[in-house]
Amino acid sequence: MAVSTVVSSFELLVKPLVQASADILGAGRTIIQGYFLTISNLNTTTPVQLRLNFTAQSPDLNTQPLLAFFDILGANTSLTPIINLPTKQTYLITIGAGDTGLFLFQPDVTKLAVVSSANTELRGYVTVSLAAPFGSNSFDLLLTPQQRGTFLPKDFPSNKSDFDQLAYGLPTATGGARVTLAQIQFRPFPIAELPSEIVNLDPGLAQIIKDNPNVLLNGDSQSLSNAAITAQTNGLQPVLNSMLQRLEAIENRLGNLQPVRS
């Protein structure tokens, strides 16, 4: 079990099936291909919030306009990446207890130029992680990745009557569809090793650690008679998750800064 896992590769296309110079039969058609990921939350009592991270290097994700959607109720809801860097885009989704959703990542074919130029070809890989990595819960998920595409008529857009479809499943990195993501449970440790930022946020926990250095050093919280240690530890989980979100926001802003030109 881990807080994140690699799901699969992905390929986004708006491309002719055959290069014009090699299409001696004149049969080449343009294909539009997107990445689909069906996610089921197998936990029947607890919703799960996930980060879907897409990484592409050569070329990077900024070379083409892209769209992302998430569908649970039968209507695609457009998503904006919470992290939008040249080689990385991250999307935040929530799936209710026992529910299933469909995530879609595709070229922005609402722009006619993207279709007419037929020059989109992006490949990379997908990872999924818990949006709140700190805590004591684990989540069983069912992941089913697919590539789905549409073949346009050869003389599109004048001919709009000859569309064909394709869909094929992708192998997962784990070799199976079921994965378990587990939160990281914060474990107290000696005050000498506790960052001052955390001490200032929760001085009560700091005092408990001071009072019980040997027990905490050995990681044996069961022998503590002071039940407050559990409450204090659990109270730090949302603090740590909030700090992670702020760090990601800073990373996103820094990544979008343009270099100063003289």
Q: What is the pLDDT along the chain (262 residues), one digit of tens a residue?
A: 678 899 999 999 999 887 666 566 556 688 999 999 999 999 999 999 999 999 999 999 999 999 999 999 988 999 999 989 999 999 999 999 999 999 999 999 999 999 989 999 999 999 999 988 878 889 999 999 999 999 887 766 656 666 788 999 999 999 999 999 998 776 655 545 556 655 665 566 566 656 665 544 444 444 444 444 455 555 556 666 666 666 666 666 665 655 444 4
Residues 178, 206, single domain; the answer is no
Spatial separation of the C-alpha atoms in residues 40 and 89, rounded to whole Å: 22
Residues 70, 134, single domain; the answer is yes
H-type alpha helices, 79-174: 112-117
In a domain, 262, yes or no: no
In a domain, 261, yes or no: no
Residues 174, 230, single domain; the answer is no
Final residue of a structural domain among 182, 202, 222: 182
Best CA proximity match to 233, nearest among 188, 183, 182, 184? 188
DSSP annotation of 223 reads G
Helices 228-256 and 203-211 cross at an angle (nearest 10°) of 130
* Domain range enclosing 40: 4-182
Residues 76, 202, single domain; the answer is no
Cis amide bond preceding 145, omega within 30: no
Spatial separation of the C-alpha atoms in residues 209 and 26, rounded to whole Å: 75
Residue corresponding to tokens 């890989």: 125
Residue corresponding to tokens 């946020």: 201
Residues 14, 52, single domain; the answer is yes
Pairing of strands 178-182, 66-71: unpaired
Residues 166, 232, single domain; the answer is no
Best CA proximity match to 121, nearest among 12, 34, 28? 12
Tell whether pTM > 0.85: no
Asked whether 141 and 51 are in contact (CB, 8 A), the reply is: no
Residues 61, 158, single domain; the answer is yes
Spatial separation of the C-alpha atoms in residues 11 and 35, rounded to whole Å: 7
